[in-house]
Amino acid sequence: MMEVEFLILLLISSIIAGFLGSLTGLGGATVLVPIYTLFLGIPMAYATGASLISTIATSSGAASAYIKDRITNVRIGMSLEIATTGGAIIGSLLAHWIYEHHLVFILFIVFGVVILSSVYPQIEKSSLELPKPMKPDWTTKIFQLYGEYYDATLRQEVKYYGIRWWLGEIVMFFAGLISGLLGIGSGALKVIGMDWAMNLPLKVSTTTSNFMIGVTAATSSSLYWLFGYIEPALAGITAVGVIIGSYLGTKVLVKTRNTRLRLIFIIILIFLGIEMIIRGVSLWT
Amino acid sequence: MDMNDVIGYALRIGVLISVSLIIIGFILLSITPQFSELMSPNSRFNTSVVKPEEVFRGIRKGNGVDFILLGLMALIATPVVRVVLGVIQFAMQRNIIYVIITLIVLFNLLLAIFILPLII
């Protein structure tokens, strides 16, 4: 019964990935793709296809809860999706070109670099809950980049507004590109786009980023489908596993102070990042 | 009902339908020889040749793989429905610029789903 063993292995890996992903806000795919490709022998195209599908599932599940909380800024999210979906189309086409030309080592190396670069923000967790106010610019008014929400930790109503919409769009284009290329949600890059470029509060950035990931991933996964990179059994199990994992993650998140968990996660990320680069280089030479 | 709630429910229902279809698919698939073919890292399944009408025909025959495929399609369709509801929401608020923005996002999605397959 090899296949039952394999099924259980896939399910456990995707539950772990979903669990870690929701605890850290990086999404399941960041650890999922390395586990699948490095340890389970699944081809890169199928691993990224499955992880894209699972990203839609977790984003849709979480977004429905966040919209209820009214922290997500639907306007800002939607306006940035122009760039993420555009980037996702280009990224998926680029991924297809890379697979066609048997240059998959590039994806391993890029994936490794992306993982390692997401370690830094994990260590240097932004201590500032709210950004320093900056002067609104012309984009603030045209694109209605403002809102308010009730912050439960600060116990106050927070009013905010975003600036530099165009800079946000540029960062989002690359977030979409990376997402289409590597089959990840690239939530970290999306948060940078809103947090750093548009000066939005962290809570708004993270929830809005999560809201956007589903639409971005739907764009790339339909192209992945077209290219034949989605293996139904693999993608199906992964979607179910990651949903279970991220549900467990949110339950644990409210109960623990997660400094130790974060340290473990950082070590896992560094290990997987280096392994991916080593694999890429060995495929190259 | 508030449009935000409608969107929230739509997302949840989409995920629920898709997960149910996937699970039904696995139960049906597990008793067929195709199961071992798909449950392996060397699986050669290729979605690029899958046609929607074949999936629906397979559903009527109780074909497990087609249930899973339909579940995956439902999952991909959920964000599309969400964006369509977004257009309606902004139209109700008479927010012209955001109706246009959301239509552009919808266009990108439909470009990836329907138009690019015709070209590539």
pLDDT tens digit at each of 285 positions of chain A: 577 888 899 999 999 988 888 777 677 788 899 999 999 889 999 999 999 999 998 888 777 666 666 788 888 999 999 999 999 999 999 999 999 999 999 999 999 998 888 877 766 655 556 777 788 888 888 888 888 888 777 788 888 888 899 999 999 999 999 999 999 888 888 888 888 888 888 888 888 888 888 999 999 999 999 999 999 989 999 999 998 988 888 777 666 655 676 777 788 889 999 999 999 999 887
- pLDDT tens column, B1-54: 678 888 888 888 999 999 999 999 989 988 887 777 777 777 777 777 777 788
Distance, CA of B46 to CA of A63 (rounded, Å): 31
pLDDT the model gives residue A203: 80
pLDDT the model gives residue A144: 86
CA angle in degrees (0–180, nearest 5) for A55-A56-A57: 90
- What is the total count of domains within chain A? 1
pLDDT the model gives residue A130: 72
Mutate one of B99, B108, B114 to test the A interface: name it (highest A CB count within 10 A): B108
Chain B environment of A3 (Cβ under 8 Å): 35-36, 39-40
Q: Give, in order, the Cα–Cα distances in Å from B13 to each of A178, A254, B7, B28.
A: 29, 25, 10, 23
Distance, CA of A242 to CA of A51 (rounded, Å): 9
Of B71, B95, B113, the CB nearest to A222: B113
Residues A234 and A42 sit within 8 Å (Cβ to Cβ): yes
Residues A240 and B19 sit within 8 Å (Cβ to Cβ): yes
B17 contacts chain A (CB < 8 A): no
**Domain boundaries, given as residue ranges, for chain B:** 3-118
Identify the helix (H) or strand (E) that includes residue A161. strand A156-161
CB contact under 8 A, B79 and A214: yes
pLDDT the model gives residue B40: 74
Domain limits for position A57: 3-284
Residue type, B116: L
Identify the helix (H) or strand (E) that includes residue A160. strand A156-161
Of B11, B25, B47, the CB nearest to A228: B47
Distance, CA of B82 to CA of B80 (rounded, Å): 5
B100 contacts chain A (CB < 8 A): no
CB contact under 8 A, A225 and B47: yes
Residues A248 and A23 sit within 8 Å (Cβ to Cβ): no
Shortest CA distance to A210 belongs to which of A159, A264, A249, A259?
Answer: A249
